[in-house]
Amino acid sequence: MAENGSRQPLSGINVADFSWFAAGPVCAQTMGTYGAIVVRVESESHIDGLRGIGPFPTGKTGYNVSGYYNNYNANKLNVTLNLNVEKGKELAMKLIAWADVFITNITPRVIERWGLTYDELVNVRPDIIAVYQPMQGFDGPHRDFLGFGAVLGPITGINHLTGFPDRPPSGLGTNYPDYVINPQHTLTAILAALRHRKRTGEGQRIELSQLESVVASLAPAVMDYAANGRVQNRAGNRLPQASPHGAFPCKDITVRNPFGQEEQEGRWCVIACFDDEQWQSLRGAMGDPEWARRNDFATHAARKANEDALEEQIGAWTAERAPEEVMETLQAAGVPAAVIQNARDCLEDDEHLKGRDYYVYLDHPEAGRTAYDGPGFRLSKTPAQYRTPAACLGEHNEQVCKEIFGLNDEQIADLMVEQALY
């Protein structure tokens, strides 16, 4: 197996990625982006569910063109193994014997059925760093509960705090834990374990309970209850220490939808004032209108007491302007403000993201040229490298079989006939 770039910090590290959806694959992709060789394991009988979820390029279908899946699986090789047959399990163990790091977020009972527990893995690779991301941990009354990021939001308390106080909990609109908290906690643990192994020669098991990883992000609400007995509730866009603090409507724009039809698109901006000085600057930027000089808004306490009226007046001012104009005007006056950007804004119009070359464009054999998220962090001496787009299902079966498993063409054919490799 060819080495990745020698200038990368994880060059020489091999990763067996037995995870799916996002929490595991995002972590493994980050390792690949910084030099590790990552082999992603799937099965044609049980493909990663993300392969079937859009967006898809216009007019293209199939398992290999999902933008959702592809974005989280660049810089990986892909092999299809059938772990429900003995020969497939043998191949899995050969891959694990090659790997420095094993990653999975499969449920504990499936891990046990397939023989992928830490106790079994160390028999083939004694210094393996085996990473497990069970939904709620390997023990406890809920060890076998099923779920995804959409389930983690409610049970960790995130959904209770998102939305408006007079409406049901709304959640974040995406599986936030899968993409942000869990992958990076996992990566941190892997790097710590690799350092420990370098010093001692010892591998270890990493258990990242996704429940516990995510509930840690609610520390302020938990501490508020622990210290004050107070259960925080949904507050919409408001904060107790700021006023105004919210999203405000701006001028609509006319856009063409994917069918070539013109339609109106709502535009928004956010504005925040954390002290009276910023409020005074906001007043000046708006032309110091008569309503803003009223005692109802003179102090933070007064603004909080009259927040509905305050937001209505500010909204009337922003509604006459483009969000970019509002942002630039208020930022120039020292008031925190920003455009609420959509995907088009981020990809095409954000001059800052463009100036930093954040998005990476790769040519995929079936999906075509598409954008990938750039690295979440940058290393000055050993930068990230996006070498290959997401692999097609089973694209590297022959390469992995020959270069890692040491098999010849006849042996590979036999494995395909026995449905161990498919």
> Could you read off the pLDDT of 142-169 as tens digits, one per residue?
998 887 778 888 999 999 999 999 999 9
How remote is the C-alpha of 414 from its chain's centroid?
39
Angle, alpha carbons 395-401-405 (nearest 5°): 145
Length of the chain: 422
Residue 201's domain is classified under what CATH number?
3.40.50.10540
Q: Which residue has the tokens 């991301």?
A: 133
Residue 79 maps to a domain: yes
CB atoms within 10 A of CB 384: 19
Place of tokens 């990763």: 15
- Euclidean distance between CA atoms 262 and 264, whole angstroms: 7
- Cα separation, 79 vs 399, in Å, equals 9
Asked if 253 and 376 sit in the same domain, the reply is no
* CA dist., res. 197 & res. 168, Å (int): 48
Residue 257: the pLDDT is 81
Residues 6+ positions from 226 with CB-CB distance below 8 Å: none
Residue-range definition of the domain harbouring residue 306: 245-340
Per-residue tokens: 81? 């193994």
Query: Is position 228 within any domain?
Result: no
310 shares its domain with 385:
no
> Does the residue 380 lie in any domain?
yes
Question: Which pLDDT tens digit goes with each residue over 292-302?
Answer: 999 999 999 99
> Are 370 and 281 contained in the same domain?
no
Furthest-apart CA atoms within the chain: distance in Å: 86
State which residues of the chain have pLDDT below 70: 1-6
Q: Encoding tokens for residue 71? A: 């974005």
**CA 226, 231, 234, 238 torsion-angle sign:** negative
In a domain? residue 112: yes
Distance CA 372, CA 358 (A): 9
- 178 catalytic? Reply is yes
Which of 203, 147, 145, 146 is closest to 175 using CA atoms? Answer: 147
| Residue 181 sits in the same domain as residue 313 | no
Nearest partner of 76 among 394, 406, 402, judged by Cα: 394
pTM of the full structure: 0.93
**Are 291 and 190 part of one and the same domain?**
no
Question: Is residue 14 a contact partner of residue 101, using CB atoms and an 8 Å limit?
Answer: yes
- Per-residue pLDDT at 1: 55
Provide the strand spans (E) within 77-132.
77-80, 101-104, 129-132
Say if residue 24 is in the same domain as residue 105: yes
Which among 139, 178, 345, 409 is annotated as catalytic? 178
The separation between CA 38 and the C-alpha centre of its own chain, rounded to angstroms, equals: 18
For residue 272, give the 3-state DSSP assignment. strand
Q: Evaluate whether 286 touches 313 at the Cβ level (below 8 Å).
A: no
Distance CA 95, CA 404 (A): 7
Q: What is the pLDDT of residue 266?
A: 95
71 and 104 in a common domain: yes
- Nearest Cα to Cα of residue 129 among 89, 174, 188: 188
First to last CA, the chain: 21
CB 70 within 8 A of CB 62: no
Q: Cα separation of 44 and 313, whole Å?
A: 57
Q: What is the pLDDT of residue 259?
A: 77
Of 306, 340, 374, the residue that ends a domain is: 340
pLDDT of res. 45? 84
Q: How many domains does the chain have?
A: 2
